[in-house]
Structure 1
Amino acid sequence: MEISEHLAALDREGRALAEAAASAGPDAPVPTCPGWRVRDLLRHTGMVHRWATAFVRDGHTDYRPDGGEPDLDGDDLLAWFREGHALLVDTVRAAPDDLDCWTFLPTPSPRAFWARRQAHETAVHRLDAQSALAEGPRPVDATLAADGVDELLSAFHARDRSRVRTPEPRVLRIRATDTGDVWTVRLSADAPRTTRDAEGPADCELSGPAGRLYAMLWNRLPQQAVTVTGDASLARLWRETSAITWS
């Protein structure tokens, strides 16, 4: 995906998140984030948006901690969230292509990194916000979802901090049935290694529409939401060890 496509997704997903939060109300439980209510989701996501904005706007080339979550609620909290989301979209859109600032995943450029990362940060939390509604969340667009699966597998879980590991080498395959994208994840005692291919046999395959794979791999849907063939213990391993947490 191009930067312009990630920015369009970031804009769209953030607006949808705000709309769902307004409909659900700040006290509504968020089923996909046990223990959270909508106010917690807005405070967290709004904080992340402002944290990301500062790197792009101010050109920080080293890590800076976030500014903390606000003591806001109700309409004031929703307005604060919308303001921060719009500021993030505008800031990344206006940033130069040769932007130099801190990032934490492999990327063609810092501007491309922040557009992509915040598009997916916001899309995942849009699923959370809509899970608070009776009708539940709408699937993430297939193209965006496939891109997000790639970011999760090829970037987040390529890091040494990934806990998705097996004592002996195993192979997990992820197949998006609507977009045609396929990933092969080689598991071992080291960090996973992912390639975009279907080479060789797999011990377990997870297949389904990209939007369902995206939500399942981000632990927003149960593994039963996709088709699991082969050794289902690898699907359970993913569920138990793959969580990406804020730190």
Structure 2
Amino acid sequence: MNPEPSADRRRQALQDHVRQLAECARAAGADAAVPTCPGWTVTSLVEHVGQTLHWVSEIVERRITDPAGLPAGVAELPADPVTWPAWLSGAATRAAGACSGAALAAPVFNAAGDDRTGARFWLDSLLNEAVVHGFDAAATAGHDHDVDTDVAAALITNHLAMLTSPTWTARRPDSVAALRGTGQTLLWRATGDPGLEWRVERHPGGARRQPGGGTADVIVQGPAKRPATSPSTVTPSSPGTGSSTPPTSRADGVTPLHRAPGNRRGRSLCTL
């Protein structure tokens, strides 16, 4: 099993990555177009991240268990861009505080419908939001964006948990159908970090996550830490046994292992 960052580590990483996002957003400027989010400006990005942080915080703070009771409103983006770093920082602090130890053990709605507690699902999702959109902000500002290995590994685990979750099965039937198979195996391996591996088996009823290790029909290899500058390699273990295109590959041929598949607009990473 891959090592899992502690809840304290996740909470701190969430705040750190939101702070870095805010710094990059300030450097880029409010009206700058975000190249990795077509149609978005930095204003759109900051608004989305801040609103999502506050929206999720309310869910966990109120211990909402029924999706019918999810918050209908969102926080308002401050008009003055000078105040955005403080607004984002406050939102991240609120979210980290909401996902306290007590909250992680309490009944809270889990949009994935998997075996995680609700607050754990939301904390994982918010960390994902902060890291992925932090890359978007860094790309806009022309800055580097590094992710610590343990955080990147946690995001990969989160993505695979989402892709094999009951809610994904119900709401993304095309994706689920594409992952069905007759026993083929896929292995994601982080180069430079022995032991960091993720294994998925394709079955007629759907994909199943399994402990990593061993061989596989297709192996995707790449560094977990660098989200945009290091290419991954895809190796069929036996010729003709699997697809040579990784499911999270980008058009430029770079496959950052912890990038999320699918649409990153709206709250897709949180609510599936």
TM over 0.5, shorter chain: yes
Aligned residues: 237
Give the TM-score of the pair, scaled to structure 2.
Answer: 0.75
The aligned amino acid for 2:196 is D
Question: Which of 36, 46, 49 is the aligned partner of 1:45?
Answer: 49
Q: Cα offset for 1:114?
A: 2.8
5+ residue gaps, structure 2: 251-259
Cα shift readout 1:40-61 (whole Å, capped 9, x = no counterpart): 1111111110111001111111
Match of 1:225 in 2: 231
Question: 2:82 aligned with 1:75, yes or no?
Answer: yes
Query: Is the alpha carbon distance of 1:229 and 1:200 closer, same or farther for their aligned partners in structure 2, counting shifts above 3 Å?
Result: closer
Q: Cα offset for 1:94?
A: 7.0
Match of 1:208 in 2: 222
Query: Is the alpha carbon distance of 1:166 and 1:244 closer, same or farther for their aligned partners in structure 2, counting shifts above 3 Å?
Result: same
Question: 2:91 aligned with 1:84, yes or no?
Answer: yes
Question: 2:149 aligned with 1:134, yes or no?
Answer: no
Q: Cα offset for 1:205?
A: 1.6
Cα shift readout 1:53-102 (whole Å, capped 9, x = no counterpart): 00111111112145246354422444433322222122223744532211
Match of 2:129 in 1: 121
In the alignment, the residues of structure 2 paired with residue 174 and residue 130 of structure 1 have an alpha-carbon distance, to the nearest angstrom, of 26
In the alignment, the residues of structure 2 paired with residue 193 and residue 5 of structure 1 have an alpha-carbon distance, to the nearest angstrom, of 27
Match of 2:261 in 1: 242
Q: Cα offset for 1:199?
A: 4.0
Give the TM-score of the pair, scaled to structure 1.
Answer: 0.81
Identity between Structure 1 and Structure 2 (%): 26
Query: Is the alpha carbon distance of 1:96 and 1:233 closer, same or farther for their aligned partners in structure 2, counting shifts above 3 Å?
Result: closer
Counterparts in 2 of 1:5-20, with a 5 A limit?
Answer: 5-20=9-24
RMSD, matched Cα: 2.9
What secondary structure is seen at the aligned counterpart in 2 of 1:101? coil
The aligned amino acid for 2:60 is V
In the alignment, the residues of structure 2 paired with residue 121 and residue 146 of structure 1 have an alpha-carbon distance, to the nearest angstrom, of 15
Q: Cα offset for 1:11?
A: 1.4
Question: Which of 143, 157, 164 is the aligned partner of 2:150?
Answer: 143
Query: Is the alpha carbon distance of 1:174 and 1:237 closer, same or farther for their aligned partners in structure 2, counting shifts above 3 Å?
Result: closer
The aligned amino acid for 2:134 is R
In the alignment, the residues of structure 2 paired with residue 185 and residue 98 of structure 1 have an alpha-carbon distance, to the nearest angstrom, of 28
Counterparts in 2 of 1:60-71, with a 5 A limit?
Answer: 60-63=64-67, 64-68=70-74, 70=76
Question: Which of 148, 156, 161 is the aligned partner of 2:163?
Answer: 156
The aligned amino acid for 1:142 is T
